Amino acid sequence: MTPRHASSDRPAEIESAGRVEPTASHHLALVGLWSAIAVAVLVVVFGLSLAIGLPLAVSFTASFFLAPAFVAMVVSLAAEAPPERRIWGQLGAGFAVIYAVMVTTTYYLQLAVVLPGEGRIPEAVFPLLAFTPGSALFALDMLGYGFMTLATLAASPVFVGAGLERWLRAWFIAHGLLGVPTLLAPILMAGGAFLIHTAMKEIFHMLVVHDLGKETGGGPKHSSVARALFWILAMDIVFAFDTVLSAVALTDNFIVMATAIVVSGLLMVLMSEQVARFLQKNRMYEVLGLFVLLMVGVMLLAEGGHIAHLAFFGYPIEPMAKSTFYFVVAALVIVDIIQGRYQKKIMLEEKPPR
């Protein structure tokens, strides 16, 4: 890829004192080219080492040197980007540096400590250095590769042309999307913690506010009903996608999958407005919505902790079954409806006759 921000009339080389002097653009092109070649070769070596069962030292060494080569490639890409798109390349370079720090730390410890000292490492220290699913270094390595995919996704807008650049942009985006499973655990845990925080904040807010009717003025502040409604609709979207994924997992019939996607999308659009009107007219169900939101946060935390192989007081975290979640939600709704009708009955009985 030729430097697009360089002036078209500027030569790639400058003649000085009878000899040809390479310019900064020439050095940049060389660094970008050779770092890209190094990345390709090291990825092939890593894949072959896993495919044919070479010693772990081979794959660890390839992964160790892949990190600086990848950083050099992304930095060169950022420096070569057009000025209006350079920020994307710089963002990708930042993610690439985070990736390099994490994976080089992991593989250096494996190459310098674990493999040479195999069988001689104390049992109390080995869990800290082990590279197995659920270990700290394995989690650090997976997080590092998550930042690697973020780097390619962030740098993809740098490619603006057609032909080869179009294919490179598509490749960078596809590689970036691979990071979603890698970062699934932290995304679920962060989302769950945020939902729990939001639900608890709104619940405490309702307890301390004396006159809920004065909350909604003409100003920019929104009532807790509006915020609760927003998150309930967000949950609606989440579970609509969950329905789509469930349909894809349960059948190979394209017609059934397409029908599930269309029906879930239509229900999400049609029912959201009705849910909004219902909550505006029946504010007593706001508490129910907030507790359902709280349960969703707990479920996401449990799912993320299970994927990350975390333990709580020595007990592994297990995900909450969807059937359990739906049963609890149904029980909450039934209890809330019965409680509301019972309160109305008591109010009618206690109302003095005219």
pLDDT on residue 266 = 64
CA angle at 57 for the pair 54 and 60, rounded to the nearest 5°: 105
| pLDDT of 9 | 43
Structure-block tokens of residue 280: 């505006």
Three-class DSSP category at 18: coil
Match 């619940």 to its residue by tokens. 203
Cα-to-chain-centroid distance, residue 58? 30
pTM: 0.54
Buried b (16+ CB within 10 A) or exposed e, 156-188: bbbbeeeeeeeebbeebeeebeebeebbbbbbb
> What span, in angstroms and rounded, lies between the C-alpha atoms of 122 and 225?
57
pLDDT computed for residue 123 by the predictor: 67
Residue 188's pLDDT is 72
Predicted pLDDT at 24: 65
Distances (CA, A) of 20 to 13, 52, 114, 325: 6, 47, 50, 72
One-character DSSP codes across 69-80: HHHHHHHHHHHH
pLDDT tens, per residue, the chain with 354 residues = 444 444 444 444 445 445 555 566 777 888 888 999 999 999 999 989 888 888 888 999 999 999 999 999 999 988 888 888 889 989 999 999 999 999 999 999 999 888 887 767 776 667 778 888 777 888 888 888 889 988 998 898 888 877 788 888 888 888 887 766 666 677 777 777 887 888 888 778 777 755 545 544 444 444 555 555 555 555 555 554 445 444 444 455 556 656 665 666 566 656 666 766 776 776 667 777 778 878 888 887 887 777 777 777 777 888 887 788 888 888 888 888 888 788 888 888 777 666
7 phi and psi angles, rounded to 5 deg: -70, 140
pLDDT reported for residue 3: 44
Q: Which of 235, 302, 224, 306 is nearest to 275 (CA)?
A: 235
